[in-house]
Amino acid sequence: MKEDTKDYIYTILKGSVGTIPVAGPVLSELFGRVFEDPANKRRENIILGISDRVEKLEEDGFDLKDLSTNEEFLSIVIQAYNIAMKTHQEEKRIALLNAISNTPKLTSIDENEKMMFLNYIDYFNEWHLRILLFLDSPYDFLSFKSGSRASALEIAYPDLKDKSDFYGQIVKDLYNRGLIQFESLFGKVFDATAPGTTEYGVTFIDYITH
């Protein structure tokens, strides 16, 4: 939904509450105070986050005038902003902000890949990112060396216990995008010393972290 549409709907809802006889004005005020316009609040937080990242780029020696005329950077910022407006998941927002920070730094990544990586974040949920990071460096999460990948994942993330259908689909998503080496965690011997990501997956992680 377009943001101006969200604002329009918010205005309609607030106005409709105000038409309720007698208690209408009170409810309208309550609506405005308690149910603060979520689009505006979310927008403000995202803009502040982007502003912070741009300031840090300047501290790292990047010229803001150059960034303001860099079409690739502007496109990434706009796309990241639009994606961030559609999610409340903090890990996805952080990944998007990291992508903004890394766009002028990681010149080895093609701009088309960067745009595609943002689309991945848009489609993914927070568990896609968590599982990908786990498979990239499982030794950071576990104290043992071997076992099934599925059981290892459930040990690392107890919330996933008995949710094999859920995380199994996520693994397929990651595999279909070429980010990990295997399509399923089941029936595989787990080796904590061997990352499960592909070279392409590592590139994606580099772009959305740090």
Domains of the chain by residue range: 1-30, 37-110, 126-208
Instruction: State the Cα–Cα distance between residues 151 and 23, nearest whole angstrom.
Output: 56
pLDDT in tens, 51-105: 889 989 989 999 988 888 899 999 999 999 999 989 999 999 999 999 999 999 9
Q: Are 44 and 84 in contact (CB under 8 A)?
A: no
| Token pair belonging to 192 | 């904590």
Phi first, then psi, for residue 193 (nearest 5°) are: -90, -5
Which residue would you say has higher pLDDT here, 19 or 100? Answer: 100
The residue that leads in pLDDT, 140 or 162, is 162
pLDDT at position 32 is 55
In the beta sheet, which residues pair with residue 147?
190
Contact 132, 180 (CB under 8 A): yes
Examine the pLDDT at 145 and tell me if it is beyond 60.
yes
Residue 196: is its pLDDT beyond 90?
Answer: yes
Among 62-76, 132-146, 170-184, 194-208, the least confident range: 132-146
Task: Return the structure tokens found at 161.
Answer: 């216990």
Both tokens of 180, joined, read: 């990990």
| Residue 113 in this model has a pLDDT that exceeds 50 | yes
- Give which of 104, 106, 94 is closest to 50, Cα–Cα: 94
Q: What does the mean pLDDT of the chain come to?
A: 84
